[in-house]
Every structure is written in structure tokens, then in C-alpha cells.
Amino acid sequence: MKRTGDEYFDSEEFQSILESFEQASDSGGSIFQDADDLADIADYYHYIGNHEAAEEAIGQALSMFPTATAPLIYKAREALEYEDVEGAEAYLEQMDDKESPDYHYMQAELLIAQDKIEDADLLLREYFKTVPANEYNDYVMDVANIYLDYGVTDKAYEWSMRSSGNNSEDFKELMGNILLGLGKFEDSQRIFNELIDKNPYSTRYWNSLANAQYMNEDYGSSIDSSEYAIAIDPTDPESLVTKANSLLRLNNFEEALKYFERYAEVAGEDAFSELNKGICLLSTNRPEEALEHLKKAEELSNQESEYLAQIYQETAFTYSALHDVDKAIEALEKTSELPCNHADMEVLKGHILLENEKMEEATNAFKKALLKSDSSPEIMIRILVSLYDNHLVQAAYAIFKRFYKTIVDEDYQNGHAYMALCCWDLKKDQEFLDYLKLSCERNPQEARLVLGNLFPEKMKVEDYYNYMKEKLTS
């Protein structure tokens, strides 16, 4: 059985249920699990990406318990994944127990999935009136978690505030996750640190803290927190992958590769791990090895995979590194039917053509990107960054000047860090300082990402300007 990082799926209780089911399935014997256990087994298989086994388990559940709540809710959620609202409604109608909270929760999920947030909220508030007083807090937490699962974080917060005097660890964990979803990363970290003080051996709390630090771009602290989780459970997939992601962000590709490999050992090879192994290998100038993993990532993906567009993108970069431009462009063409930003893909195509000295074809690709994006300023910036990356610094500088003077408003927030970089390379010190100041004021995240290597590692973005002004004037 694969390790998942999910507390229940990795528990001895569930492992025993799963082992019993698999033994019966393999031998053709009778299945003795109840409807809830079979739905959990289907959820487990779905979670690890074994969709065929998931369908087999839920099929068994529905054949034995055709009107049971848990299997029908599984099928309803599966229908929603494919945006089949009518199918989800049909499964809901087959349920015997239409008085259960799960039935009402699923009704709300149907509305949320259709972006009918206020309708869902009305339904949940009406049902709230029927909930016994001693179950208020549990109901509030259930509803808040539903909203959190669907990314409707403001509603999750609103419902969490209905809780009365709830000091439980579960409630604090919920609040930590809500604050994380609201972008209040430091407040989220504070809550998870409090939870860790009470339970220092919880890998879940350490992972949540690491995630909040990662989202706050404090990658060093995220690595430290992940290491505590790994020390508690060396086979925990979530802590291994969070550390790998943080190492990747710090461009420590060799170490990141080791942790993506460890993750794959415990969670099983999947498109995600193979993709990231490929990225690490390409970043360490091993394109042949990278290509093997990217091909495997593609094999492990279906057409609905969230990773497919990035797999093709990284495959294109890899072929470009191998100077096979035709295959690089062929990989990007595969994204044409995927739900991704097609203007972005044209920019990438132009970038690859440019780095292979095909200027005319690159220019045509950039024109297509502008056409597809209706001359989006963000796409224009990406094209200018491509010019810079391909050592056409003077051209990028000249177009950036025109961009800020005639194309965007004077209070436009993005791109100033890249313009500052052009000025730095061209030794235009005063212009560099001017654009550095604008970048730090208007988009500190971009300033740190683009210009951070010009400054001491721990320096805050708000100190960049004064530090560099003093350095240049002295």
C-alpha cells in the first residue's frame, strides 16, 4: 500500500480494511466491507491516482448498497469533477436518507460547484436552524471545511466565526488553514506554532507550518519545518515533497532531486514526481536524463491531468537544450487543446526559437502571443524578459522605455524589476535606482525574485534601494 500523508488512509485501521478488500478481490471471494468502508477504499484509490481500482471498489459498493449515502456521494463528487451537474443530482436523488447532514452538505456542494455561492449559503443556513445546540460547533466546522475545500475562503472564515467558544485543536487547525487561504501567512504560522507547542510530534501541524512558510516565500524556514516532520516520520510524503519544492525554489536542484526521489519511493511514481525530477535534471544540465523522466510523466498522465501543460512545456525546454528545435515546437503544439494560457505558450515558442537563433520565426510567435492576448501588458513583459534572457538587453531596454511611456498607466505595478535589471547590465546607474525603487514599492515579490541575487541573502526588499544607492554612490 502507498503512503499518502493522509492520517486515516495511513492508519493501521484502514490498512487492515484495505488488505481484506484486496485479498477478497484477488481471490474472487466475498466482499465483507460495509458501504462506508468501500467508499473510503474508492477514495483511497482515487487519491493515489488508481482510477480503475477506485471504480471497481465503488462499483462493488453500489451493487451491494445501491441507495447508501457514502457511495452515492462519492459518485456525485466524481460527476462534479467532470462538470456533470445533472449526473451528480441524479446520484443525490437515489439516496435513501435525505435527512442526513451528508445529503444537505452534498446539495450545497452542487451549488458551490456551479458558483451559486449565495444559494448554497442560504441552504446551509436554513439547515443550520434544525441542528441541535450541542452540535452547532461541529456543523459550523463541517460547513467551513466544505467552503475551504472549494477555495471559497471568505465564506469559510464567515462560518468559522459562528463557532461559540471553540478552543479545540481541530478548530484552531481549521483557522490556521483559513488564514493560509486568505493570504495571512504570518497569522497562519502563529496558529500552527501554537498547535506544535501543544503537540510537537504532529507531522500534520509541522507540514501545515511548512506550507504557510512556503507560501510566504520563507523557503529556508519551510525546509526546517519539513525536516522536523521528516524526523518524526521519514516516510511522510507531504513533508518530503514540501522540502523538495522549497529546495527547488532555492535553486538547490541536486538536493531537490533527492527528495523528489524519496517522495516517489513512498508515494509511488506519478506524473508530479517525474515532472519535477525532469525539471531538476534539466536545471543541472542533464537534458538526456531529464527527457526520460518527462516522457514517463506524460505516460502517467491522462488528458485531464493538471500537470500535462507543464510537462509539454518542460519537454520543449529540454529538446531546445538538446538543439532539437522541431521536437521542442512539436511538444508545445500539444498544448493547443489543453485548458492553459495559449498566449503564454506562443511566448515560450518564441523564446525557444530565439535561443536557437531563429529570429524571424520567433518574431512571428511573439506577434501571435500578442494577438491571442489582445496585447496584454503581462504578455508583453514576458516577451521582453525573453529578449533579455537571450542577451538582447539593449532591445529589451528600448522597448521597456516605450512600454512604460506609451502603453501602460503610470501606476502600473509589474515589470519594473526586469527594467532595473536591463539598466544594471547597461550600467545606467541612475535609471537602475529609479526602477529599483519603483519595483520595491509596487511589486516587492517581483523585486525579490528578479533582483535578489544583487543583494545580501537575508536582506529585506524594503532595504534594497538604500543599500544599492549607498553602494553605487560610494
> What pLDDT digit, counting tens, does each position of 228-241 carry?
999 999 999 999 99
* The C-alpha cell that represents 55 in the structure block: 471504480
Determine the Cα–Cα distance for residues 244 and 55; give it in Å rounded to an integer.
Answer: 32
The per-residue pLDDT for 48 is: 82
pLDDT tens digit string along 152-173?
Answer: 999 999 999 998 877 899 999 9
Average pLDDT of the segment spanning 400-425? 97
Per DSSP, 11 falls in state: S
Tell me the torsion sign for CA atoms 380, 333, 290, 234. Answer: positive
Residue 43 pLDDT greater than 70, yes or no:
yes
Record the pTM: 0.88
Q: Is 218 helix (H, G, I), strand (E, B) or coil?
A: coil
In this structure, how many other beta carbons lie within 10 angstroms of the beta carbon of residue 146?
A: 20
Residue 49 pLDDT > 80, yes or no? no
Rounded-to-integer distance, Cα 75 and Cα 60, Å: 13
Q: What is the mean pLDDT of residues 58-73?
A: 95
**Structure confidence at residue 458 as a pLDDT band (50, 70, 90):** confident
Count of Cβ atoms closer than 10 Å to residue 173 Cβ: 18
Cα 175 from Cα 164, distance rounded (Å):
14
Q: How far is 421 from 399, CA to CA, in rounded Å?
A: 14
What value does the mean pLDDT take over residues 418-423?
Answer: 98
1 vs 36 pLDDT, higher one: 36
Q: Is 56 exposed, middle or buried (0-12, 13-18, 19+ CB in 10 A)?
A: middle
* Residue 171: predicted pLDDT: 95
Is pLDDT of 140 > 90? yes
269 phi-psi bin (left φ>0, alpha ψ -120 to 50, beta other): beta
pLDDT in tens, 75-132: 999 999 888 999 999 999 999 999 999 999 999 999 999 999 999 999 999 999 999 9
C-alpha cell at 354: 530565439
* Distances 312 to 308, 321, 325, 330 between C-alpha atoms, Å: 6, 14, 14, 9
How far does CA 175 lie from the centroid of its chain?
Answer: 20
- pLDDT of 1 > 70? The answer is no
C-alpha dist (Å) from residue 14 to 38, 65, 204: 11, 20, 18
Mean pLDDT of the region 47-59: 89
* Separation between Cα atoms, residue 204 and residue 183, nearest integer Å: 20
Pick from 398, 450, 405: nearest CA to 426: 398
In the predicted model, is pLDDT for residue 213 greater than 80?
yes
Res 358 pLDDT > 70:
yes
- Identify the pLDDT of residue 184: 97
Statement: residue 457 has pLDDT above 90: no
